[in-house]
Amino acid sequence: MSSPPVADFISREERFGARNYEPLGVVLSRGEGVFVWDTQGNRYLDCLSAYSAVNQGHCHPKILAAMVEQAGRLTLTSRAFHNDQLALFYEEIAELTGSHKVLPMNSGAEAVESAIKSVRKWGYEVKGVPDGQAEIIVCANNFHGRTLGIVGFSTDAATREHFGPFAPGFKIIPFGDLAALKDAITPNTVAFLVEPIQGEAGVIIPPAGYFTGVRELCTAHDVMLILDEIQTGLGRTGKLLAEQHEGIEADVTLLGKALSGGFYPVSAVLSNNEVLGTLKPGQHGSTFGGNPLACAVARAALRVLVEEGMIENAAVQGERFLKGLRSIRANTVRDVRGRGLMLAVELNPEAGRARRYCDALQTEGILAKDTHEHTIRFAPPLVITSDQVDWALERIAAALTQDFA
Ligand SMILES: *Cc1c(COP(=O)(O)O)cnc(C)c1O
């Protein structure tokens, strides 16, 4: 039986749905590993990986098996009772990441909000900041999610506009600027919240040594360093956590996205004993946070990431991909950057909007997403092979040298 035309799905979405996204004109119905298929049976190499939520590849069979098994046994108990998956999830993720305490949530934004609440509480109860005065430092061009608390400290106009009034208590400094961090810290500063690499801003990598300096400043001033690794974490940059490239340890680490391999929303706040230790019964929670289905899925997602060598593969294939992108001779390209399989090509403004190159890539059999007008991000699942990277590079070169005249 043939499926309804693509335009039919798209027009219905547009009629009934809030139009808060501008998707490419492709309707997907199946995925496996690095590939997805549309309703017409066309195959694409997925170079977005749902913003790095499917690092383990689409429909990974072991995560699927864990999900199906758990779904038939027990899905939700709420935290009013214990369940037999939560303790194992805590233990395994704490051991893998070297953390002392874990707070399970669902979306990435919830993990960020939970971290903000926790460090404020820590500030008042441990650091001794006067009540209501806690300050958190964040970076310009950050992306930490879409809730009200978070968009209030965004510097992107579209993200903030007409959503106010916003919560106070945030200071914005330039990313990658140590002197600015030093100047912004006051006795009331409880935390510095930052992405190791700014993903949504267009894969912006800070200067070498920046995070070593950040770690020193935070330690010297008793400021909690919160690394939002929701996108950079879990192998994306070729290490389990991006902080490992810098040889530092955050006080609070945020994970989400690939924590479930794309099956289910699972996020977590990881911290030392101090920060999450301030939360007492009744002070924070989530109906679905820490549910047995989420825990079983996350445990499998973490296991395959490590056991199947995906982190090492991301490092190897990332280098190959980056080298290949750099060798593309096209006057449309202004800059190529990346770490591991978190890559981006920034186009010359004269080349026009990145979106049309994404449309051209779609025709070539690659799905990629533009970010910020002139940048195309490439972030395939971490199970990509050398042959697939080489195939992608040929297609990308073709799309970038295409004449739109
Ligand atoms: C995606 C993302 C978030 C938000 O995660 P959601 O699950 O969409 O709420 C937060 N921080 C970073 C760095 C992200 O990439």
To test ligand 1's pocket by mutation, which of 147, 230, 252, 372 has the most ligand atoms within 8 angstroms of CB? 230
Cα(5) to ligand 1 centroid in Å equals 32
Same domain, 41 and 74: no
Q: What is the mean pLDDT of residues 330-353?
A: 94
Does residue 320 share a domain with residue 186?
no
Q: Is residue 3 part of a domain?
A: no
Mention every residue, 6+ apart, whose C-beta is less than 8 A from residue 84: 74, 292
Phi, psi of 298 (to 5 degrees): -65, -40
List, in sequence order, every residue forming a beta bridge with 227; answer none if it has no partner: 194, 253
Give percent of the chain above pLDDT 90.
Answer: 94
The answer on pLDDT for 2 being more than 90 is: no
Determine the average pLDDT of the residues in 378-405. Answer: 93
Question: Are 278 and 330 contained in the same domain?
Answer: no
pLDDT band for 86, please (50, 70, 90 cuts): very high
Confidence of residue 1 (pLDDT cuts 50, 70, 90): low
pLDDT over 80 at 405, yes or no: no
Domain of residue 35 covers 15-46+310-340+350-400
Residues contacting residue 16 through CB under 8 Å, at least 6 positions apart: none
| Confidence category of residue 4, pLDDT binned at 50, 70, 90 | confident
Distance 229 CA to ligand 1 centre (A): 9
Per-residue pLDDT at 392 exceeds 80: yes
Residue 372: the pLDDT is 83
- Cα(267) to centroid(ligand 1), Å: 10
Q: What is the pTM of this model?
A: 0.97
The reply to whether 227 and 367 lie within a common domain is: no
Q: In this structure, is residue 363 part of a structural domain?
A: yes
Taking residues 339-350, what's their average pLDDT?
Answer: 96
Query: Is 99 inside any structural domain?
Result: yes
Q: Which of ligand 1's atoms lies nearest the C-alpha of 112? A: 10
Which residues sit with their C-beta closer than 6 Å to ligand 1? 51, 107-109, 112, 143-145, 195, 199, 228, 230-231, 256-257
In a shared domain, residues 257 and 328: no
Looking up residue 196, the CATH number of its domain turns out to be 3.40.640.10
In a domain, 53, yes or no: no
**How high is the mean pLDDT of the chain?**
96
CA distances, 127 to each of 72, 130, 134, 274 (Å): 46, 9, 10, 10
One domain, residues 291 and 145 = yes
Span from the CA of 34 to the centroid of ligand 1 (angstroms): 21
Specify whether 88 is located in the same domain as 185. yes
Same domain, 113 and 28: no
Catalytic, 228? Answer: yes
136-159: average pLDDT: 98
The answer, yes or no, to whether residue 51 has pLDDT greater than 90, is yes
Atom 6 of ligand 1, residue of closest alpha carbon: 108
Torsion (CA) 387, 388, 394, 400 in degrees, nearest 10: -150
pLDDT attached to residue 352: 86
Cα(110) to ligand 1 centroid in Å equals 9
Three-state helix/strand/coil letters over 213-260? HHHHHHHHCCCEEEEECCCCCCCCCCCCCCHHHHCCCCCEEEECHHHH
Average pLDDT for residues 13-34, to the nearest whole number?
96
Domain match, 109 and 166 both? yes
Q: Of these residues, 101, 127, 257, 369, which one is catalytic?
A: 257
> Is 166 a known active-site residue?
no
Residue 7 backbone class (left: φ over 0; alpha: ψ -120 to 50; beta: rest): alpha
Q: What is the pLDDT of residues 223-244, one digit of tens each?
A: 999 999 999 999 999 999 999 9
Structurally, the chain folds into a number of domains equal to: 2
Q: What is the pLDDT of residue 402?
A: 81
Same domain as 136, residue 224: yes
Could you tell me the CATH number of the domain that includes residue 374?
3.90.1150.10
Is pLDDT above 80 for 404? no
CA–centroid distance, residue 148 to ligand 1 (Å): 14
| Among 35, 38, 127, 143, the one annotated catalytic | 143
With the most atoms of ligand 1 within 8 angstroms of its CB, the residue from 52, 143, 232 to mutate is 143
257 tagged catalytic: yes
Confidence band, pLDDT 50/70/90 cuts, at residue 17: very high
Instruction: Go through 361-389 and write b for each residue having 16 or more CB atoms within 10 A of its CB, e for each that does not.
Output: bbebebbbbbbeebbbbbbbbbbbeeebb
Length of the chain: 405
**Same domain for 251 and 212:** yes
Write the pLDDT tens digit of every residue in 187-232. 999 999 999 999 999 999 999 999 999 999 999 999 999 999 999 9
233 within a domain of the structure (yes/no) = yes
Question: What is the structure's pLDDT at 232?
Answer: 98
Ligand 1 pocket: which of 153, 204, 257 to mutate (most atoms within 8 A of CB): 257
